[in-house]
DNA sequence: CAAATAGGCAACCAATGGGTTGCGTTTCGA
DNA sequence: TCGAAACGCAACCCATTGGTTGCCTATTTG
């Protein structure tokens, strides 16, 4: 397999992460969990203008993408932000950006010659 | 408005960008445009296992998110990667990450005292 | 122990999304 | 000039998604 295709494959792996982040409510949840630390569902529902059930569903989507993790404490279920997973998404964007920079410098070389 | 909510609002602005990136086919298109430079629809359709029309739709979604731009040259329509827009998404992830780092150090301080 | 709190499960609904096929329009080039 | 190439528009289809409501379970706590 060519180098390009290998890189492309790795990049495409990140699609589910972006899909999970690609909803305003979910992105807000992630941001909130990231800045406030672990929170329960009811706490997260306050300040969100949707039902608790909707929040639950969103959290499950985020968990499916590996962006959050849950921890039970008695009757409370705390949701914890997973920084490592977000870092993967960052790396993906970095790869695309640097590919672009390379393409630009190749073009520059080409024009100069 | 509190500082937290202001940051949260800015973060949520990025949701449409992530939504656009949150599809394997589209992410591949972005990556390809980023590494190979501007390409036409038919060129992009080759190597993608969907119809030209499907590719067109995906490109329109990407354009709607500001991640690509189109340029007509005769009967050909070239699609160009928009690095600036991707940079916004990167900044968004950086914000969340640094918020998390802050939260961790606050927790550390708290435990030490 | 009983009430209140935190949450799960399931059914249901309307809207969106990803994909296709069919056909029309513009532009290029032999 | 006329056929082929590149693309647009529109209709259609089915699966997914975001959201709700209703009801049930488990754990606190007064």
Measure the CA–CA gap between A106 and A101, rounded to whole angstroms.
Answer: 9
Between chains, do A24 and B8 touch, taking CB under 8 Å as contact? no
Instruction: Mutation target for A interface from B9, B31, B80, B89: give the one with most A CBs within 10 A.
Output: B31
Minimum-distance residue to C26 (CA–C1'): B75
- What does the pLDDT read at residue A62? 98
* Nearest CB neighbour to A27, from listed B15, B26, B97: B15
Q: Note down pLDDT in tens along chain B; length 113 residues.
A: 666 666 766 899 999 999 999 999 999 999 999 999 999 999 999 989 999 999 999 999 999 999 999 999 999 999 999 999 999 999 999 999 999 999 999 988 888 76
Residue B38: Cβ within 10 Å count: 18
Q: Which helix (H) or strand (E) holds A25?
A: helix A24-36
Between chains, do A15 and B34 touch, taking CB under 8 Å as contact? no
Q: Which nucleotides of D are covered by protein (CB under 7 A)?
A: 5-11, 17-22, 26-28
The three state secondary structure string of B37-82 is: CCEEHHHHHCCCCCCHHHHHHHHHHHHHCCCEEEEEECCEEEEEEC
Give phi and psi for A13, each to the nearest 5. -55, -25
- What does the pLDDT read at residue A2? 60
Single pTM value for the model: 0.94
- Pick from B70, B20, B83, B65: which is nearest to B44 by CA? B70
């Amino acid at each position: 397999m060519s180098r390009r295709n290998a890189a492309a494959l790795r990049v495409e792996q990140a699609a589910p992460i972006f899909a999970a982040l690609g909803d305003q409510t979910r992105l807000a949840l992630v941001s909130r969990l990231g800045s406030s630390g672990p929170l329960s569902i009811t706490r997260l529902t306050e300040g969100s203008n949707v039902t608790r059930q909707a929040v639950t569903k969103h959290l499950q989507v985020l968990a499916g993408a590996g962006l959050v993790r849950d921890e039970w404490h008695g009757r409370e279920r705390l949701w914890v932000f997973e920084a490592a997973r977000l870092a993967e998404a960052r790396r993906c964007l970095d790869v695309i950006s640097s590919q672009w920079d390379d393409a630009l410098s190749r073009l520059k070389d080409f024009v100069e010659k």
